[in-house]
Amino acid sequence: GTGQSDDSDIWDDTALIKAYDKAVASFKKS
């Protein structure tokens, strides 16, 4: 309905760790 639940699913307890890993991986690809 509101999109809130989708957002919560993505933003889980490991969100900061995933964001860091993604940022680090992006340099290797660049």
9 binds another protein (CB under 8 A): no
In one-letter notation, the amino acid at residue 18 is K
CA 24 to mean position of chain CA atoms: 13
16 touching another protein, by CB under 8 A:
yes
Q: Which CB sits closer to another protein, 1 or 4?
A: 4
DSSP 1-30: --SHHHHHHHS-TTHHHHHHHHHHHHHHH-
Q: How many residues bind another protein (CB under 8 A)?
A: 18
What residue ranges bind another protein (CB under 8 A)? Answer: 8, 11-17, 19-20, 22-28, 30
